[in-house]
Structure 1
């Protein structure tokens, strides 16, 4: 993992450690389950989340939300570097004709706390299309309980 962290700009890994805790705590609060085994402190949990064998991706609370986290599987699937990811509006992960359906699920998650069973087609930075299945989308809050965006996780996708 240290090689990966060395590629990150100053401060990003530290932000991702804190954000990983927000992701894990918010997921548990929304669903009543743990996204992955917990323990070992924030740094160890952030390392495990980054290396998890499933996608975890999130965006912030901006009017046009910008991606702010993607674990290794998410980065590989969307074919982005960490710096590309954190500069990408979340809406651009879906093709234009499919963005309305995506927005409806995000709104449902905002209203209900989380949505499970979401599926849809996404597009990587290079234009590679893939279908995701059985995704969970949840609202993310910071350690003070303030809204911090939304996140999604899924372990099933098929390239189209």
Structure 2
């Protein structure tokens, strides 16, 4: 079993290495990352953790496990950090929309990046919410190795 990632905090620089992976990968695909060059990276990582939009990622396991969820994502999905980072990402969608989710992930795998995803997700309590215009991208390390996928979205509506 893999060790759980630590909760982002000042003591671990808000997981700056992981945030760099997310940011550099997004910049690779879209030309624009999550952090600018002028802000202290640790401050930028803290801002992303507390950002008013959802930011999540999962690893490259056969059944990918969520390995990052910012504070907004935790609130939206109604899960704390320790619950979220051991959750297979497929559980973020209801069983009846798994085919749609799988098609999305394949589209991202094939193209590297999309910025137009909309779909329904499910919180721990069973409440559902619609996300709009989500950006989803492949994560690549500095050697170009696939490390998973990330998503961010700022528009959602409870159903």
Distance across 2 between alignment mates of 1:39 and 1:138? 24
What corresponds to 2:92 in structure 1? Answer: 93
TM-score (norm 1): 0.87
Q: RMSD value over aligned CA atoms?
A: 2.1
Distance across 2 between alignment mates of 1:106 and 1:32? 21
What whole-Å deviation, never above 9, does each CA across 1:44-74 have from its counterpart, x for those lacking one?
2211211211111110000000000011111
What corresponds to 1:150 in structure 2? Answer: 149
For structure 2, the residue ranges without an aligned partner over 5 or more in a row are: 1-5
Query: Relative to 1, partners in 2 of residues 1:13 and 1:126: Cα closer, same or farther, differing over 3 Å?
Result: farther
Whether 1:128 aligns to 2:127 is: yes
Offset at residue 36 of structure 1 (A): 4.9
| SS, match of residue 132 in structure 2 | strand
Whether 1:109 aligns to 2:120 is: no
Distance across 1 between alignment mates of 2:72 and 2:36? 18
Q: Which moved more, 1:135-144 or 1:57-66?
A: 135-144
Q: Which moved more, 1:106-115 or 1:141-150?
A: 141-150
What corresponds to 1:56 in structure 2? Answer: 55
Distance across 2 between alignment mates of 1:44 and 1:144? 26
For structure 1, the residue ranges without an aligned partner over 5 or more in a row are: 1-6
TM-score (norm 2): 0.88
Distance across 1 between alignment mates of 2:122 and 2:107? 22
